[in-house]
Amino acid sequence: MKKFIVKITAAGAILACFAYCTSTKNATGNAATSLKDAYKKDFLIGTALNTQQIEEKDAKAAALIPLQFNAITPENIMKAEIIHPQWDQYNFDLADKIVAYGAKHNIKVNGHTLIWHSQLPQFARRIKDVDSFKTFFTNHINTVAGRYSGKIFSWDVVNEALNEDGTMRKSIFLDKMGDGFVTEAFRLAAIASPNTELYYNDYNNEQPKKREGCLALVKKVQAAGVRIDGVGIQGHWHLGRVPLKDIEESILAYHALGLKVMITELDIEMLPRNFQGADVNQRQASNPALNPYANGIPDSLLQQQATDYANLFKLFLKHKDKITRVTFWGVNDGQSWLNGWPVPGRTNYPLLFDRAFNPKPAYHSVMALKK
Ligand code: G3I
C-alpha cells in the first residue's frame, strides 16, 4: 500500500511540474497548461510514439503525452515489416496497444502507414508474379485496416509515392501494379474501414514540383470516384530555412481540392546535412564536424528555432479552417529519429521538449501565440 501511494505521488508530482513549467494564458485569460489546450479550438496537436511510450514504460513520457497531445501516430509499429511479417502472419500486439492507449487517454490515433515502399517485410519484396503481389496488397489492407475499423481516427493510406520532381517513385508497387496502386489502396481502405479518414502523406510535398505531382495524384483518386479525405505534409524542415511561402501555397492548393490538410511529422532540424527531405535510404557518413552540439546547443540557435516554430504556427493559425492536425515527429529531442539519420550517432534538437522533457524556448513561443 505504501509503495502504491509513493508511485501515485511521484506521477502526480511529475504532472504538477509539467503543468507549472508549461503554462501560459489562453484567449479567455485562463491558464492554458498544454499545447492541446491552447490550440483546442484550432486543430489537433499530435506526436509520434515509440514502443517504450506506447507501453508507458517511461514515467515522464507517460505523464507528458496525455497532458500535451490529443493525437498520436505510431512511429514504426504499424508499418508492414512489423505488423505483417509473413504472408499469413500478422503481429498486432503493439498496434492493439496504441489503440488501447488512445481509448484510455481519449487521444485520436492516426494509423501509419498501410502502403509504403520502405520497411516492407522481406517476403513481400521477394514476390515475383503480379497476381501474388496484388493478393498481398489486398490482404494487407483488408486485414490491417479492417481490424482497426471504427477504432482509429485516420490512416496514412499511402506514404511517399512521389519523387522530388513530382513523378511517381520507382517502387515495387509501381513496378507490379502501375500507378493505379494509389487509387486501389484508397478504394480498398475505404471499404475495409468506412468511417476512418484516409490520407496521402509525403515529405517535401510543399515544394512546387512535388506539390504538382501530389495534386495530380489526388485528382486521379478523386476522378475514379474513390474517397480521399486529406493530405499530410510531413514537415521535416531545417533551422532558418522553413519554406513558409511554399507551405502556404500548398495548404491553399490542397484545400482547393476539398481536402483536409495536416502537418504530420513536424520537426526543425538543427544540424547540417547536404540534402533536404526524409528519404530514409539517403545517408551521410559520420564526421565530428557534422555533430557540433554533442555537449549542448547555443541559446542563439534555440531562439532561432523558437522564431521558426512561431512563424510556422502563425501560418497554421491563419489557415486553421483548412488544417485539422499538427503532429510532431517524436516527444522529446532525445527520442527523435534525427539523432540517428542521415548521419548516425548525432545529438539533434528538433522538437519542443528537451531530453529531460523540459519545454524549450520553441514551446514557449508556440504557446505565446495563444496568450
Ligand atoms: O527495431 C529495430 C531494432 O530491433 C534493431 O536493433 C535496431 C538496429 O538498427 O533497429 C530497429 O529498427 C529501427 C526502427 O526505426 C525502430 O527504431 C530501424 O533500424 C530504423 O531504420 C527505423 O527508423 C525509422 C524510419 O522511419 C525508417 O523507417 C524511424 O524510427 C522513423 O522515425 C522513421 O519515420 C519516417 C516515417 O515513417 C515516414 N516519413 C519519414 C519518417 C522519418 O524517416
Active-site residues: which are they?
265
Q: Which residue reads 487521444 in cell numbers?
A: 107
37 lines ligand 1 (CB under 6 A): no
pLDDT for residue 295: 95
119 lines ligand 1 (CB under 6 A): yes
When pLDDT is averaged across residues 261-265 and rounded to a whole number, the result is 99
When pLDDT is averaged across residues 286-313 and rounded to a whole number, the result is 95
Question: Which tens digits make up the pLDDT trace of 83-112?
Answer: 999 999 999 999 999 999 999 999 999 999
Q: What share of the chain is helix, strand, coil (3-state, %, to 5)?
A: 45, 15, 40
pLDDT for residue 123: 98
Q: How is the chain split into domains, by residue range?
A: 21-273+283-368
First to last CA, the chain: 42
Mind giving me the DSSP string for 227-266? ---EEEE--EEETT---HHHHHHHHHHHHHTT-EEEEEEE
Atom 30 of ligand 1, residue of closest alpha carbon: 337
Classified by CATH at the fold level, domain 21-273+283-368 comes out as TIM Barrel (3.20.20)
| Contacts of residue 268, Cβ cutoff 8 Å, sequence gap at least 6 | 237, 238, 239, 242, 305, 308, 309, 350, 362
337 lines ligand 1 (CB under 6 A): yes
Phi–psi pair at 184, nearest 5 degrees: -65, -40
Answer yes or no: are the C-beta atoms of 264 and 327 closer than 8 Å. Answer: yes
Question: Which tens digits make up the pLDDT trace of 209-257?
Answer: 999 999 999 999 999 999 999 999 999 999 999 999 999 999 999 999 9
